[in-house]
Amino acid sequence: MKKTVKRSLGVSILMSALVLILPYLAPPKLVLRFLPKDIYEAGKDHPAPSKKRQLLGHILTLLFLGYFIRCTKKNADEIRQEDLGFAEAFKRLAAFLYVEKLFDIILLDQLLCMTSGWYKRFYPETKDCAGWHNRGWNSRQQAARLLLYPIVCAVQAHLLTKGRTS
C-alpha cells in the first residue's frame, strides 16, 4: 500500500509541475478551459505561446501521461504478483485515485487556482473576474469523479483478481 500512495503522490507532484508550467507552453483556450466560464471568456483571446513552446507543452503532457500509465500498470502488476483478493486490490486502486484527487482538489484547484492568483499573472485580463472567488466552480465535476471512482476501482479489482476472494 505504501508504494501505491507514493506513486499517487509522484503522479500528483508531476501533475502540479505540469499545471504550473502550462501557461508558458499552452494556448490560453486550453489552460483556461478548466476554470470558471467568465475567466475563460476574459482570457481566451490572450496571445498563445510560440509553436515551439506549444510543442514542448505537448511533449511534457505526453510524458506525464506515460508516467501515469506506467504507475497504473505497476499497481496492477503488484496486485497480480502478490495474489491479492478483491478487497485488498480495491483498497489499493482506490487509494491511488483518491490521493491524487484530493491533491488535485486541495492544492491545485483551491490553493493554486483560487488562492495564489497564479493564473492571473499570465492572464491579467482575468483579474476582475468573479470566477476567482467561486471556490465551488467545479464541485459537480469533482463530486461526480469521487462517486465514479469506487465503480472504476471495483471493475479494475474484479478484472485483476478474477475469481479470487478475500
- pLDDT tens for the chain, 166 residues: list them: 888 999 999 999 999 999 999 999 999 999 999 899 999 999 999 999 999 999 999 999 999 999 999 999 999 999 999 999 999 999 999 999 999 999 999 999 889 888 998 999 999 999 999 999 988 888 899 999 999 999 999 999 999 998 655 5
Contact 61, 24 (CB under 8 A): no
* Proportion of the chain in helix, strand, coil states, percent, rounded to 5: 80, 0, 20
Residue 157 lies in a domain: yes
Amino acid residing at 27: P
pTM (predicted TM-score): 0.82
Residue 166 lies in a domain: no
Residue 114 lies in a domain: yes
Residue for cell digits 479470487? 164
Dihedral (Cα; 154, 155, 156, 159), 10-degree rounding? 120
Three-class secondary structure of residue 35 per DSSP? coil
Three-class secondary structure of residue 47 per DSSP? coil
CA 133 from centre of chain: 21
Q: What domain range is 43 assigned to?
A: 2-161
| Total number of domains in the chain | 1
Give the up-direction half-sphere exposure of residue 90: CA atoms within 13 A in the CB hemisphere: 14
Residue 115 lies in a domain: yes
> CA-based angle 152:138:92, to the nearest 5?
25
Residue for cell digits 482575468? 126
